[in-house]
Amino acid sequence: MTSSTPTPPPPPPPGTGSGDLIYPPQPAKDPVIILVLNLLLFGCVGYFMMGQKMKGIVAVIAWIVLAIPTCGVLGGVVSILTAVDGYFQAQQHQMGYPLGPWTFFKDHR
């Protein structure tokens, strides 16, 4: 039988400057935990756990800027979008793929 999961790329050789790629931690974070954290905590904590720090900072700023004038409605939308994105990004990490600092949903590099 052939496995439907693609083989992850090998890690870069030491000293080659892997650029901005964020390689999966061992063990990889659970996608459901990332989803819940992003949903409940300003849309950013899951990103910080995965190493996408700038993405987390932008998410919390967007949450604050949009939530205040709309009494939380658009903050909720930001939380939902970041929760779904964080879930898919954590799945990519679980499969062994590195992430870029600005990859979204099922994108990986």
> pLDDT digit string (tens) for 34-60?
999 888 887 888 889 888 899 999 999
Domain locations in the chain?
A: 31-94
Give me Rg for the CA atoms of the chain. Answer: 15
Instruction: Kindly state the tokens that stand for 39.
Output: 């949903």
pTM for this model (two decimals)? 0.75
Tokens 């000293």 -> residue: 15
Q: CA-to-CA distance for 57 and 52, rounded, in angstroms?
A: 9
> pLDDT digit string (tens) for 6-18?
666 555 544 444 4
**Do residues 30 and 90 touch, judged by C-beta distance below 8 A?**
yes
